[in-house]
Amino acid sequence: MPGFESSAAAEQRFNVNLSILFTELPLLERPAAAAAAGFGAVELWWPWVDSPTPERSELDALKSAIEDAGVRLTGLNFYAGQLPGPDRGALSVPGAESERFRANVEVAAEFAQSLGCTALNALYGNRVDGVDPAEQDALALENLVHAAHAADRIGAVLLIETLNRPESPRYPLVSAEAGVAVVDKVNEATGLGNARFLMDLYHLSMNGEDLPSVIERYTARTGHVQIADNPGRGAPGTGSLPLPELLGLLAKAGYDGWVGLEYKPGDRPSAEAFDWLPHEARAAH
């Protein structure tokens, strides 16, 4: 990617999201494929979209696949319904979905702990017709407090993610300001201080935000960064986002956490979608 090697962006650490890349392979083969592409760290959406509490054998098989590949799991979503698909989380949806989220919290935290994963992402959930948004927000805060305590018990941060209105019109957190406001509410309610903003530069750009301003204002509150180019949600260099410049601004602002590659590979195998990234930037360190 032009400008990457010579910029402060080269200081960042990159992992690959195995729920959007390498999906041409079965789940248990993806960690090894990421390792073969040179990556030392991976992240995942909750892999069992229909089950917040899968069988122990399924959890153990995925754990073994990650360990055998020699990669680190650095981020994991809590149960969030059908992803990819129409769902955008479960924790603010009254009834069965929020109950499924709560049932998942300890399972996900235990799985994360078993692999040394220290970041758990909680997608807020869509607005529901006929339900007062204030009721959903109260339920969300209750469930996020529960999740924050579970994350704290394993030494992890709880991530709150902003999506974008064009693709997620029913999702209420569609600005950096809205996402950070929820982070602040959770930290105030728990006193733990372990809730952090997930700064997804693709989603924020789809919302038309001033990304340098977002980086300046919110890097100190950020626990994880994800990237894809825009338009198209493809690899860096396939769209018009100045990602080397933006990653350089993050580095200069003091961000030294993981940058998750959460983009679509396009009409090619995922292993061919990383030519923009120097090999040395892919190793876990």
Question: Residue ranges of the domains in the chain?
Answer: 8-266
161 in active site? yes
Q: Which of 161, 167, 245, 280 is catalytic?
A: 161
Is pLDDT above 70 for 7? Answer: no
Q: pLDDT tens digits, residue range 242-265? A: 999 999 999 999 999 999 999 999
Is pLDDT above 80 for 282? Answer: yes
DSSP for the chain reads -TTSTTSGGGGSEEEEETTTSSTTS-GGGHHHHHHHTT-SEEEES-S-TT-SS--HHHHHHHHHHHHHHT-EEEEEEPP-SSTTTT--BSTTSTTHHHHHHHHHHHHHHHHHHHTT--EEEE-B----TTS-HHHHHHHHHHHHHHHHHHHHHTT-EEEEE---TTT-TT-S--SHHHHHHHHHHHHHHHS---EEEEEEHHHHHHTT--HHHHHHHHGGGEEEEEE--TTTS-STTSSS--HHHHHHHHHHTT--SEEEE-----SS-GGGS-TTS-GGGGS--
Quickly name the fold that domain 8-266 has: TIM Barrel (3.20.20)
- The band of 217, judged by pLDDT with boundaries at 50, 70 and 90, is very high
Q: pLDDT tens digits, residue range 109-133? A: 999 999 999 999 999 999 999 999 9
Q: pTM for the complete prediction? A: 0.96
Q: pLDDT tens digits, residue range 22-77? A: 999 999 999 999 999 999 999 999 999 999 999 999 999 999 999 999 999 999 99
Q: Which of 5, 262, 272, 280 is catalytic?
A: 262
| pLDDT score of 8 | 55
| pLDDT score of 280 | 81
